[in-house]
Amino acid sequence: MCILLLFLNVSFTNNTPGFNPVSQAGELNPEICSSERYDSLNVRFVGNWPFGPSYAVEMDSARNLAFCGSGGGVYLLDISDPSTPLKLSEIRTRGIVRGLFYEELTQRLYIAEQDNGLEIWDVADSVNPEILGSYDTPGEAYGVVVSGSYAFVADYSAGLRVIDISEPSVPEEVGFCYTSSFTYRVEVSGDYAYVANGSAGFSVIDVSTPSNPNEVGHCDTPDWAYDVAVSGNYAYVANNYGGLRVIDVSSPKDPEEVDSCNINARGVTVSGNYAYVVADYGFRIIDISSPSDPEEVDSCDLPNIAYDVIISGSYALVANSYAGLRVIDISTVEDPVEIGVYETPFYARDVEVSGNYAFVICGALGLRVIDISIPENPTEAGFCDIFNSIKDIALAGNYAYVTNYYSGRLIVVDISMPEDPEEVGFWDSENYGSRTQGVAVSGDYAYVADEDSCFWVIDISSPSDPYDVGSCDIPDRAYDVVVSGEYAYVTTDSGLRVIDISTPSDPHEVGHYYCTPVFSQGIAVAGDYAYVADGNNLRVIDISTPEDPEEVDSCNALSFPKDLVISGDYAYVADGNNLRVIDISTPEDPVEIGYYDTPDHSYGVAVSGNNVYIADDKAFLQIYEYLPAGIELGNTNNEQVLEVTDNLFTGTSEVQVNGVNLPVELDVYDITGRIMEKEIIYNSSPVEIGTNLKTGIYFVKVKGLDPVKILKLK
């Protein structure tokens, strides 16, 4: 049994695995307060530079402003000159930005944030946007539209959620409607919401009573419905490879397809007599002057998969995922032409830290340098474009050594001026089909693991002219490499290979340890032990005798570890879904003692001082702090708290309330949004809750407080 206490004079927090909005110094962190979804244990969020691919775009035509979703954030761009968009400011979110809606009358931007629900921002001052409020929906928010006092959120597995936004600082859900598949996007017209409903096609939901929305009509489509636009009596559904479907909704309870256009379609918007459609590498203009006979007028190519499009005057703005924002001139519909670009960062796959800078591998867009001198507010300092996908990075002095996967190269970048990193040299394996993966640097040599079953020793004494001095074959694909003393330790499909590098011109394998059945990736060495990220395990391998490495134990509480580093008595693991902290003070008994559920997929990890840096794919760079003593609660300015002293709902729990005006109401929701239990607390005596609840994740809404508080617990 656990005790749940509600006090005055401390901040709203969870003291064990779960939500942590309070810093060790007791200061309230508003970014965390809007992020109840991210579970943690003894690890707190510090800051982020979360920008990445673009999935959503919106526009303020009156002010020539574009809002470009970018990974876990939004860029506010001045497009007075459409050929040269200029960044004015940025919004940082915790969840990946999947949908945007802009309300010109109030100058508010509504953001659908995948794992983090809905955020509402005041963007009247485009240089200094301010957050107004947020609501953590139970599913994954992919789309949002506002009508009157309500925001309608397409919440993926949790259907359509109706949020009362009459008070933006305290948005509150008033109703929901489950659909028969994944809800991607929504449009509202009059009393009806029109939903792109994944594999289930197209749905019509009556929202005339916002507290009781219900599906009244449905129309199957041949493929996945990703987006929908409504104009007059017709809905236009972007149906992926099923094309653009035109559906007559003059009778909402009996929607009927009237025709289709055989194109690939992921996003759609309608303006006048034309539907503008984006999809895989293309932008298309469809004449819908006769809805029963849509015809393609013309198209233009795009460099990547596009997800969203809006129209402003003579221009189309396209969210082109990893290719950023594209501006297309549509003044002549028979000849659309791209005229402007604002590139957003690519995915983040690895990170290294030196001094006040984090160096992040950015896929096909090269190396980004992030100033982390203020960890709570990191900013981009510079970047170096590198063609093709880069995989791994090692730092040594004034140089970064980067493996360039598809070209089979090792790239040398001068980072002596972080604001202007510059490629100064490269080594080419000259092996056709070679794929360089991991790299480690020691002294005058770089050691490269090649997916083409080869290990290379590169002389970097002259960084502008690196050349190979030795190599040896490896029986299978190599992924990562670390050097300790006279040995290099390489992870491969079959496990750990030990390479003697005492003579750089003659590297040769002297030992191996087979990790089966799953291939190994990340590796770190401390003392006599190698720590190998392998499938769902962190394996501890005794390498005191390099010719005969032997596993001593493993920790299998991981998802799919990609990278790890050792700092002190701890292994920090980027395990694909989370940051994991493993106590390795006793190598024969590794124990997980900390974690943080990151917004996206964690691929790379670095540690500097008290902070942990995660390369988090589409959420780019996330910064955390591991607190081995646990998260401390602080007393701040008359704020209210929900303190949890153990995992909630593992059985009966007791709730005791003190220091607030009674009564208060506790509503318990499961992860699908169903209310499982209601309790009214009239006095300070303990009240039992959760008697009939199974172990799992639940949302607790605390009513009777101002503002209402919501917490995710498990």
Read off the pLDDT band of 432 (50, 70, 90).
low
d(CA 170, CA 155): 19
For 279-336, write each residue's pLDDT tens digit. Answer: 989 999 999 999 999 999 999 999 999 999 999 999 999 999 999 999 999 999 999 9
d(CA 38, CA 17): 10
Once rounded to an integer, what is the mean pLDDT over residues 504-518?
A: 86
pLDDT at position 410 over 90 = yes
For 626-669, write each residue's pLDDT tens digit. Answer: 887 554 433 333 333 343 333 344 455 666 666 667 777 777 76
Q: Which residue has the tokens 């969203």?
A: 308
Once rounded to an integer, what is the mean pLDDT over residues 602-612?
A: 94
Q: Provide the pLDDT for residue 37.
A: 55
d(CA 196, CA 503): 63
CATH code assigned to 3-30+640-713: 2.60.40
Identify the CATH assignment for 52-340 out of 2.130.10.10, 1.10.443.10, 3.30.930.10, 3.30.565.10: 2.130.10.10
Distant-in-sequence, close-in-space partners of 470: CB < 8 Å, separation ≥ 6: 456, 457, 503, 504, 505, 506, 507
Strand-pairing partners, residue 214, are 206
d(CA 456, CA 444): 14
Strand-pairing partners, residue 390, are 404
3-state helix, strand, coil in the chain (%, to 5): 0, 55, 45
- State whether residue 32 is helix, strand or coil: helix
Amino acid identity, residue 500? D
Most confident region among 87-101, 468-482, 645-659, 700-714 by mean pLDDT: 87-101
Is the preceding omega at residue 255 within 30 degrees of 0, hence cis?
no
pLDDT at position 63 over 80 = yes
Q: Provide the pLDDT for residue 519.
A: 66
E strands in 429-486 = 436-442, 445-450, 454-459, 467-473, 478-484
- Can you spell out the DSSP letters for 508-525? EEEEEEE--SS-EEEEEE
For 247-295, write each residue's pLDDT tens digit. Answer: 999 999 999 999 999 999 999 999 999 999 999 899 999 999 999 999 9
Q: Provide the pLDDT for residue 212.
A: 97
Look at the alpha carbons of 383, 385, 389, 390 in this order and tell me if their dihedral is positive or negative.
negative
Fold of 350-626: Methylamine Dehydrogenase; Chain H (2.130.10)
- Structure tokens, 482: 């670390």
Determine which of 129-143, 224-238, 420-434 has the lowest per-residue pLDDT on average. Answer: 420-434
User: What ranges do the domains of the chain cover?
Assistant: 3-30+640-713, 52-340, 350-626
Residues of the chain with pLDDT > 70, as a percent, come to 84
Within this chain, domains 3-30+640-713 and 52-340 share the same CATH topology: no
Mean residue pLDDT across the chain: 86
- Going by their DSSP bridges, the two strands 3-6 and 653-657 should be labelled as parallel
> Residue 518: how many CB atoms within 10 A of its CB?
14
Running DSSP on this structure, what letter comes out for residue 663?
P
For 5-61, write each residue's pLDDT tens digit. Answer: 443 222 222 322 233 333 333 232 333 333 345 677 788 889 999 999 999 999 999
- Structure tokens, 297: 């007028």
Give 609: exposed, middle or buried? Use CB within 10 Å, 0-12, 13-18, 19+. exposed
Query: What order of strands is seen across the sheet that includes strand 520-526?
Result: 520-526, 529-534, 537-542, 550-555
- State whether residue 69 is helix, strand or coil: strand
- Structure tokens, 75: 């860029």
Running DSSP on this structure, what letter comes out for residue 30?
H
Running DSSP on this structure, what letter comes out for residue 31?
H
For 541-559, write each residue's pLDDT tens digit. Answer: 999 999 999 999 998 867 7
Q: Provide the pLDDT for residue 494.
A: 83
